[in-house]
Amino acid sequence: MKGDAAAPLVKGEGMPPSRPLIEVTELTRHYQVGDISVPALQGVSLSIEQGEFVAVMGPSGSGKSTFMNLLGCLDVPSGGRYLLAGEDVTRLGPDQLARIRNQRMGFVFQNFNLLNRASAQENVELPLIYARVPATARHRRAREKLAKVGLADRAGHRPMQLSGGQQQRVAIARALVNEPPLIFADEPTGALDTHTSLEVMALLQQLNDAGITLVLVTHEQDIAAFAKRVLTFRDGRVVEDRLNPTPRRAGPNPETNPETKP
Ligand X SMILES: Nc1ncnc2c1ncn2[C@@H]1O[C@H](COP(=O)(O)OP(=O)(O)OP(=O)(O)O)[C@@H](O)[C@H]1O
72 binds ligand X (CB under 6 A): no
Can residue 65 be called a binding residue for Mg ion (CB under 5 A)? yes
Residue 164 identity (one-letter amino acid): G
Q: Is 62 a binder of Mg ion (CB under 5 A)?
A: no
Smallest distance, ligand X to C-beta of residue 191, A: 13
Using the 8-state DSSP alphabet, how is residue 21 labeled?
S
Least distance (Å) between residue 82 CB and ligand X: 16
Q: Are 239 and 77 in contact (CB under 8 A)?
A: no
Please name the residues in contact with 178: beta carbons below 8 A apart, sequence gap of 6 or more: 102, 103, 106, 127, 128, 131
In angstroms, the CA 205 to CA 257 distance is 12
Helix (H, G, I), strand (E, B) or coil at 203: helix
Kindly write down the DSSP assignment for every residue of 134-198, as one continuous string: -HHHHHHHHHHHHHHTT-GGGTT--GGGS-HHHHHHHHHHHHHTT--SEEEEESTTTTS-HHHHH
Counting contacts by CB under 6 A, is residue 232 touching ligand X? no
* Residue 163 beta carbon to ligand X: minimum distance, rounded to whole angstroms: 24
Q: Which is nearer to ligand X, 178 or 218 (CB)?
A: 218
Helix (H, G, I), strand (E, B) or coil at 143: helix
Across the chain, how many H-helices and E-strands are there? 7, 10
Q: Which is nearer to ligand X, 60 or 136 (CB)?
A: 60
Question: CA 206, CA 172: separation in Å to the nearest integer?
Answer: 12
Residue 57 in contact with ligand X, rule: CB under 6 A: no
213 near Mg ion, judged by CB under 5 A: no
Supply φ then ψ for residue 45, to 5 degrees. Answer: -125, 120
Binding residue for ligand X (CB under 6 A) from 27, 63, 168, 199? 63
Stretch that binds ligand X, among 15-23, 57-65, 138-146, 154-162 (CB under 6 A): 57-65
Which residue's CB is nearer to ligand X, number 31 or number 45? 31
62 binds ligand X (CB under 6 A): yes
Q: How far is the CB of 227 from ligand X (least distance, A)?
A: 16
Closest approach of Mg ion to the CB of residue 190, in Å: 9
Binding mask 24-53 for ligand X (x = CB under 6 A): -------x-x----x-x-------------
- Provide the binding-site residues for Mg ion, judged by CB under 5 A: 65
